[in-house]
Amino acid sequence: MTKAFVTGAGGFIGSTLVDRLLAEGHQVVGYDNFSTGRMEFLAKALEHKNFRLVKADVLDPFALSEAIRGSEVVWHLSANADVRFGLEHPRKDLEQNAIATSNVLEAMRHNNVRDILFSSTGSVYGEATIFPTPEDAPFPTQTSLYATSKLAGEGLISSYCEGYGFRGVVFRFVSMLGERYTHGHVFDFVKHLLKEPTRLPVLGDGTQRKSYLYVGDCVEAMLKVQSKMPDGFDVYNLGADEYCTVRDSIGWITSLMGLYPKLEFTGGDRGWVGDNPFIFLDTKKIRAQGWNNRLTIRRGVELTVSWLLDNRDVLEA
């Protein structure tokens, strides 16, 4: 039993982790400003005696420091997850990912909390040259403000491990799928198809390869690593050992929805400026810890579509 503190508790991955931690008997303080998190994702948690919610911002050092007091393990999952529009607000990633992580670390340091687990991203590998990409891939060039700010968060954590005796783990995620999924291409496609079932605009040429992981499998991996925290700092890729193309994914989505839309590709080999054409991570390291994903990407896409169709209010939000 640990006293866990979860930032981004109202988010897709955060709320899934909160439910899982409560199910395992942990005490949980959830922290979220609900700018993108959703209170209804915490409906079940809010009924649990071991859960306490703090509605506040990670950029508020005072609220953060007060809320974190007495915790033993920090799961820092809050982030600007609006990856695609980084260029429209070039300061947002730095603030919400790098500075926010600095705030979390300072709140921990001042309250003598030493264990942190952090959600980073496979996009820190930039335009990777090795596939699947291992944790010690060649030094990458950052191509997005999002990945730059996440890598800064990683570096802050490893520096606190080196300098202040923290124990830290960084998880570099592929994209996630599953219940409570609220942004990304499956979301966009389902939303569009419900409004206009006969045609589907697709960014790029549809050949972009993507690897996904089911959110439940992701949370299992994180819990496995937390149960044996390293003495200092460690990094794990989290992903499936397979990938699909955007065209594959569209096939699974439209098949499940019983639709035959005309696909309208904008062309080019990537969706937007700074998008990685291919993120496919080497997951040997996490598998050596005894973890394996249980769901295929196809099954993850299908579960996501089913959940979206059952929760259409999310699509309207």
What CA–CA distance (Å, rounded) separates 108 from 100?
12
- The distance between the two most distant Cα atoms of the chain, rounded to a whole number of Å, is 58
42 backbone φψ class: left, alpha, beta (φ>0; ψ -120 to 50): alpha
User: Are 146 and 79 contacting, i.e. CB atoms less than 8 angstroms apart?
Assistant: no
Told to check if 230 binds a copy of itself by CB under 8 A, we report no
Told to check if 42 binds a copy of itself by CB under 8 A, we report no
Determine which one of 146, 160, 212, 243 is catalytic. Answer: 146
Closest approach of a copy of itself to the CB of residue 288, in Å: 18
Among 24, 60, 91, 255, which residue sits at the site for a copy of itself (rule: CB under 8 A)?
A: 91
Choose one: 68-76, 91-99, 250-258, 299-307; the region binding a copy of itself (CB under 8 A): 91-99
Told to check if 122 binds a copy of itself by CB under 8 A, we report no
Residues in the chain: 317
Site for a copy of itself in 96-115 (CB under 8 A): 98-99, 102, 105-106, 109
What CA–CA distance (Å, rounded) separates 113 from 135?
27
* Chain centroid to CA 17: 11
Told to check if 267 binds a copy of itself by CB under 8 A, we report no
Please give the size of the binding site for a copy of itself, defined by CB under 8 A: 42
How many CB atoms neighbour CB 55 within 10 A? 15
Q: Which residue in this structure is represented by tokens 């897709």?
A: 12
Which residues make beta-bridge pairs with 172?
120, 237
Closest approach of a copy of itself to the CB of residue 74, in Å: 16
Question: x/- binding map, residues 50-69, to a copy of itself, per CB under 8 A?
Answer: --------------------
Sheet order of strands, 167-173 included? 51-55, 27-32, 3-7, 73-76, 115-121, 167-173, 233-238
Closest approach of a copy of itself to the CB of residue 138, in Å: 4
Told to check if 159 binds a copy of itself by CB under 8 A, we report yes
Closest approach of a copy of itself to the CB of residue 87, in Å: 5
> Is 146 a catalytic site residue?
yes
The smaller minimum CB distance to a copy of itself, of residues 139 and 260, is found at 139
Among 49, 62, 90, 195, which residue sits at the site for a copy of itself (rule: CB under 8 A)?
A: 90
The smaller minimum CB distance to a copy of itself, of residues 154 and 302, is found at 154
User: Are 269 and 207 contacting, i.e. CB atoms less than 8 angstroms apart?
Assistant: yes
**How big is the CA angle at 37 (ends 62 and 208), to the nearest 5 degrees?**
125
What CA–CA distance (Å, rounded) separates 272 from 90?
15
Choose one: 158-166, 198-206, 261-269, 283-291; the region binding a copy of itself (CB under 8 A): 158-166
Burial group, residue 199, by CB count within 10 angstroms (0-12, 13-18, 19+): exposed
User: Are 237 and 283 contacting, i.e. CB atoms less than 8 angstroms apart?
Assistant: yes
Told to check if 268 binds a copy of itself by CB under 8 A, we report no
How many CB atoms neighbour CB 217 within 10 A? 20
Choose one: 144-152, 176-184, 282-290, 309-317; the region binding a copy of itself (CB under 8 A): 144-152
Enumerate binding residues for a copy of itself (CB under 8 A): 86-87, 90-91, 94, 98-99, 102, 105-106, 109, 125-126, 135-145, 147-149, 151-152, 154-156, 158-160, 162-164, 233, 235, 273-274
Tell me which residues are annotated as active site.
146
